[in-house]
Structure 1
Amino acid sequence: MAIWDFVKDAGKSIFGKAEAATPSTPAEEKPAGESAKADDTKRKVAALKAELRALDLDSDDVHLTLKGDTVKIESRGADRATMEKLILAVGNIEGIAKVEADLPQEQAAPVFHTVKKGETLSGIAKQHLGSANKYHAIFEANRPMLSDPDKIYPGQVLRIPQDA
């Protein structure tokens, strides 16, 4: 299992407040600490799965486990490109600091780039692919998480295709 680090405080906010997302229960019916923590974890995993469905990256084969700010992704049927997209889709969520996953074996390790303030896809393409004109290859490699080449943000992690 490999582990990828992400900027915990950057990314799309999907978790919201636990109080708002969890129906209230009378105090005498509420289980103590651990059960409330388990309910919050289930709520967050459901939110992650909903985000993957919205990005059309979810399947019955994708299983997520959340421990603190680390998500473990397991899938037997996903190819390498899909697994890399799953890692980025989950890792670029506010509140997630690490993603753990196994990638199907290939020669080269995946190349990920963390966006810094002031960077553009063209600049990133020039740095990694040798030509600013190859920004579209990075954009396509990160679809559907990216909807517009101009909408990247500091702390976001992008997949850099090696076949561009």
Structure 2
Amino acid sequence: MGLWDFVKEAGKSVFGEAEAAEPKMQPAPTAGAAPAPAPQAAPQAAPQAPAHDADTQRKLDALNAEVKAIGLDASKVRLYLTGDMVRIENKGADRETMEKLILAVGNIKGIAKVEADLPPAPAGAAAQPVFHTVQKGETLSAIAKHHLGDANRYREIFEANRPMLSDPDKIYPGQSLRIPVK
């Protein structure tokens, strides 16, 4: 399981005024999935975990809505929220999708950490993805020069971060970007 840090105070605000939920690990409903059936009471059943609190569920719904709004396929993952950390449980998503989901969720204001298991890297690729946190005054060209050795390769970084980025000039301090490694 990998753990990535993000700038909690930076990013798109999808939760409203409230910060991340109290530390309770709760699954988010998968987009398009039927709701789980109500648990049946069984005699002598083991105590069940406490139900979602309304704020945690609201935030999980906001996370899922944001992922859907930017066009990422989250049908093969499940999101869990504990405080300011999101865990992404992979149920068959490919590596590129998982890396984009990590960034999409981590770049939400109020999220400080994302934990996820990535599928194995293709032969010759880095085992861990390369992410870059944008500093004040940086441009995609400067980031491309630093990581890829050529400022003119900024478009590769832009494409690696689609659909989260809609314009190469619209990046902000604290945002994390995926750097393509070839």
TM-score by length of 1: 0.86
Is it true that 1:59 corresponds to 2:78 in the alignment? no
The corresponding residue for 1:12 is 12
Q: Once superposed, what is the RMSD of the aligned Cα atoms? A: 1.4
Q: Distance in 1 between matches of 2:71 and 2:89?
A: 17
Is it true that 1:39 corresponds to 2:58 in the alignment? no
Q: 1:23-70 CA deviation, whole Å, 9 max, x = no partner?
A: xxxxxxxxxxx87x7110010000000001011113332200000000
**Where in structure 2 are the equivalents of 1:1-164 lying within 5 Å?**
1-17=1-17, 38-106=53-121, 107-108=125-126, 109-163=128-182
For residue 135 of structure 2, what is the amino acid of its counterpart? K
The corresponding residue for 2:29 is none
Q: Distance in 2 between matches of 1:72 and 1:118?
A: 31
Q: Distance in 2 between matches of 1:68 and 1:59?
A: 21
3-state DSSP of counterpart to 2:167? coil
Q: Which runs of 4+ in 1 moved over 2 A?
A: none
The corresponding residue for 2:24 is none
Q: CA 1:58–1:41 in structure 2 vs 1: closer, same or farther (change >3 Å)?
A: farther
Q: 1:3-31 CA deviation, whole Å, 9 max, x = no partner?
A: 0000000000001146xxxxxxxxxxxxx
The corresponding residue for 1:28 is none
**Conserved in 1, the CA contact under 8 Å of 2:134 and 2:171?**
yes
Residue 116 of structure 1, CA deviation: 0.3
Q: Which has a greater percent of helix?
A: 1
**Conserved in 2, the CA contact under 8 Å of 1:49 and 1:58?**
no
3-state DSSP of counterpart to 1:15? coil
Q: Distance in 1 between matches of 2:155 and 2:94?
A: 22
TM-score by length of 2: 0.77
**Conserved in 2, the CA contact under 8 Å of 1:91 and 1:98?**
yes
**Conserved in 1, the CA contact under 8 Å of 2:107 and 2:176?**
yes
The alignment covers a number of residue pairs equal to 147
Q: Distance in 2 between matches of 1:121 and 1:113?
A: 11
Unaligned runs of at least 5 residues, structure 2: 19-49
